[in-house]
Structure formats: C-alpha cells, structure tokens
Amino acid sequence: MLAPDLGCKGFFGTGVEDWRVPAELEPGSYRQIEVNSGEISFQNDLTIERLDGQFFALGIVRSIRIDTVSIHRTTPGLKIRIDNRLINRIDRQLDRDVGLWNILQAPA
C-alpha cells in the first residue's frame, strides 16, 4: 500500500468514513518483469493524485520469494519474503511521508 493512507495528504481518503483504494493501485496494472529460481517480480507504473491535489508519477515493484525450510530439522515449512520498492518518476523529491507498507493476509 502507498502511504500516507489517510488525512489531508492521504492517497486513500481523509478518514475511515471515506476510505477507498484508488484503481491505480487495486487492481492496478502490474506486469511481470522478472522470474528466477523461486522469485517473481511485478511492476506497476502509475500516476496518482493525493487528496491535496498533488500528482505523483511512481513505479511500484513487488517481488515475492518462496523457499522451503525445515523447522527443527523435522517439520517442513515455507519461508515467504516480500519486497516492495517505490520508484520516483517525477522531477521533484518525494515528501518524507510518501512510502510503501505491506499487509500480508493469509488463511489461518
């Protein structure tokens, strides 16, 4: 997700009552850019408007890697690594509060 999410400089709304995910992010337009030994990467190039009217041209690269592991050498398991990278495509420096954060939802 893109931060800040809420407030006068938010990308998702001013508060919980008007929170929404911009179509540029979800579903977005992610394309596969790399695959190699257990890792896959997708990139979304987008222009998005913040609530204060500023536009941002950004690239978001999401990489996912899954490895098998053994817990205490007996129990098989999986290790998942998710990396997010934000690319600034505008001619000004991004505000300090603009960044990425991640929510991983998995069934219990």
Q: Residue 107, preceding bond cis, omega within 30 degrees? A: no
Q: What are phi and psi of 73, to 5 degrees?
A: 65, 10
pTM metric for this prediction: 0.80
The pLDDT tens digits along the chain (108 residues) read 788 888 888 889 888 888 888 888 888 899 999 998 889 999 999 999 998 999 999 999 999 999 888 878 788 888 889 899 999 998 888 888 888 877 777 676
Q: Spell out the SS3 assignment of the chain.
A: CEECCECCCCCCECCHHHCCCCCCCCCCCCEEEEEECCEEEEEEEEEEECCCCCEEEEEEEEEEEEEEEEECCCEEEEEEEEEEEEEECCCCCCCCCCEECCCCCCCC
Nearest Cα residue to 28 out of 94, 84, 105: 84
Give the rounded percent of residues in the chain with a pLDDT score beyond 70: 96
